[in-house]
Amino acid sequence: MLRKNKKLLLAFITLVLSVPMLSQEINQSYYDTNLPLEERVEILVSQMTLEEKISQMGSASKAIPRLNVPDYHWWSEALHGVARNGEATIFPQAIGMGATFDPALIQKMADAISTEARAKFTIAQEMGNHSKYAGLTFWSPTVNLFRDPRYGRGQECYGEDPLLMSQIGVAFVKGLQGEDPKILKTAACAKHFIMHSGPEHGKLEFDVQAPKQDLYETYFPAFEALVKDAKVEGVMTAYNMVYGKPSCTSEFLVKETLREEWGFDGYVTSDCGAIAGAAGKQGYADTPMDAAALALKAGVDLNCGGTYQKSLKDAVANGMVSEELVHERVSQLFKTRFRLGLFDNDKNHPYNNISPDEIHSQAHIDLAREVAQKSIVLLKNKDNTLPLSPKIKIPYITGPFANSNDVLMGSYYGVSTGLVSVMEGVAGAVSKGTSLNYRTGALPFQTNPNPKNWGPMVAKEADVTICVVGTTRYLEGESVDAIASTWHGDKEFLTLPENQINYVKQIIEKKGDKPLVLVIASGGPVSLEGIEEHCDAILQMWYPGEQGGNAVADILFGKVSPSGKLPITFPKNVAQLPPYDQYSMQGRTYKYMTKEPMYPFGYGLTYSKTTFSDLIIEASKLKKGKDLNIQLEVSNAGDFDMGDVVQLYINPVNSSGGIPLKSLKAFERVSLKKGEKQTINFTVKADDLKVVNKEGERVWHKGEYKVVLGNASPGELSKRLGASFAKESTIILR
């Protein structure tokens, strides 16, 4: 009995000695905002036991009452508005943000999102709601390149061009994180690092072996820009493997590239369940403990999931990782929480005093409408079919999504009391004396079982038919949400569902010589082969957010001129595309595609006419290290006030060696009154004139280049469709 009691006493003494500060007074100077951030973090984390440190390394971080550390859930979403967390303004889906080509507007929109987030967080804290989606660490934006139009989650991206992706992404992050020098408004997170662009099926196990040239030319730039230019606070690793290693265990990606080369000083999180997956479907690690140790060494601070919390204590005990490394990773996590002001004594900083009235305010609703207006792309306007007169006598609105709110929302959406369908928007735009008629006409994804369908017949009685077709998040998106998809959320084909095509053809047959306006809701390109030539006007509205119906009506009836541009090429069909699971960029996107698409990148019509003149290039021959300076005049030569996007492309005459056929180097959105002119100046930095060679090195590539300025990507198709261009010039890099 005595021997047993001695063992118990020794065990108790060992436990007490292993728990720092338990018998001492807690040092609470980590609340002192006058101390440097790193010192405050060290004071707090150094007082934690190993078990307490590990408890902070999962997405659901536990409370440590003795240190006044509350529980905190890291997983929140704000892709296009605060998501999955009650009422909030729903802005257009990310692909629509890309279509605006307007970083300043997107930063303003993201600032509105973070304003609502802070107001909601304050209320949630007061009521003790610390649940998932109620925090300030938002796992947005997605800056994976929309490399293939079959990718169902492409709607979450800003487009297919690295420069556009970078500029919109940087603006979004700056809007979310705010401009206070000491406190983050919210913490943005760039995801998914890296090369997470489909297929959705198999993402948990497939291995990407992209050429180094494509890695540095195409896949890295947006992430690098968000780290260096926007100081994004978080980065999420991808599910897939890269060069034989799971992304979350890749020292090349996280430690060498993100931390050392780019100087990232935020937190790194795994995607949800990815660390466990490294020892599961990927089979890279022998056990979850091995996977946890590999991820920790690579530089992953936070595990979305429970593998760290279940395995890291044993990993330390077995000498696989050190407690010092655990301490380092936990300290990084608390840097973020301190930067958010969550451990400040002063609770009166401006972000804590945002009024609840800011949530879904009229100003934010109006902003959602403006972003939607500027995202809508006019693809076709035969004989100036649009705009329609609000006093049109007999308009007919039809289609499976004419009165649908689902097509407004896209994926990762919030909840709003102000959703406006296209039908409602049109009803509010036309004269009260107009005989507006509405019929659904076709089911979204299946053939009408009742063959007696009066929908097409109404078209021949109308002055115009507005038909709203497309897809929703049920057909394209994350595999777990795309419940109508037979291809795991991706798209095997780019066409509309067959029953929608049949319905449009029935309208075409019945409408006679009356115009047909097709409005398309989708998160990516839709092939219109067989019906495009029979439509008089076509609008691409994406997933336009809660004010989508009003924004579409604003375009249809001429309240504003359309000004959105395609952030991704619209191919004619999938036969024009390389194999979906191939990550080489050859043959993909406007930069490498040699086949003529249906609609080119950067394209979009207005109701007016843009002209370019007085192009001045400062130097036609540039030595290594010299910037390129360009000036030109853009004019509104039409009859409507308008917005447009001036785009600058530089195309090598000799594109051997795998370099892009053409590249967007700068763009600027302009607003011009009828008859107004504006001088535009572009400076392309010398580093941005370099190309990436096959070894992944950015080099000065001597030779002749064409400089093209216009309101679409260069090519004969753009010209045939009505795009405007300045006179092309040539420069030589020496």
Active-site residue numbers?
271
Nearest to 555, CA basis, from 687, 468, 425, 363: 425
Long-range contacts of 31-36 (CB under 8 A, 24+ apart): 31/343, 31/344, 31/345, 32/345, 33/182, 33/344, 33/345, 33/346
38: tokens are 């790193």
Exposed, middle or buried by CB within 10 Å (0-12, 13-18, 19+), for 522? buried
> In sequence order, what are the residues at sequence separation of 6 or more whose Cβ sits closer than 8 angstroms to the Cβ of residue 283?
205
Q: Are 284 and 300 in contact (CB under 8 A)?
A: no
State which H helix or E strand residue 327 sits in. Answer: helix 323-339
Nearest to 336, CA basis, from 35, 56, 134, 47: 56
Q: Which amino acid is at 102?
A: D
**For the chain, first and last CA: distance in Å?**
90
Measured CA to CA, the distance from residue 720 to residue 718 in angstroms comes to 6
Q: Which amino acid is at 31?
A: Y
297: tokens are 């060494």
Measured CA to CA, the distance from residue 549 to residue 408 in angstroms comes to 8
Measured CA to CA, the distance from residue 220 to residue 204 in angstroms comes to 21
| DSSP secondary structure letters along 110-161 | HHHHHHHHHHHHHHHHHTT---TT-SSBB---B------TT-GGGGGS--S-
Q: Which amino acid is at 665?
A: K
Backbone phi, psi, residue 127, to 5° = -95, 10
3-state secondary structure 530-573: CCHHHCCEEEECCCCCCCHHHHHHHHHCCCCCCCCCCCCCECCC
Q: Match 């998501």 to its residue by tokens.
A: 83
Half-sphere exposure of 398 (CA within 13 A, CB side): 27
Measured CA to CA, the distance from residue 430 to residue 424 in angstroms comes to 10
Q: Are 377 and 604 in contact (CB under 8 A)?
A: yes
Measured CA to CA, the distance from residue 429 to residue 423 in angstroms comes to 10
Nearest to 175, CA basis, from 89, 112, 82: 112
Q: Match 């192009």 to its residue by tokens.
A: 615
| DSSP secondary structure letters along 437-462 | EEE--S-SSS--SSS---HHHHHTTS
Measured CA to CA, the distance from residue 162 to residue 141 in angstroms comes to 14
> In sequence order, what are the residues at sequence separation of 6 or more whose Cβ sits closer than 8 angstroms to the Cβ of residue 209?
243, 583
| DSSP secondary structure letters along 690-724 | -EE-TTS-EE---EEEEEEEESS-SSHHHHHTT--
Q: Are 565 and 604 in contact (CB under 8 A)?
A: yes
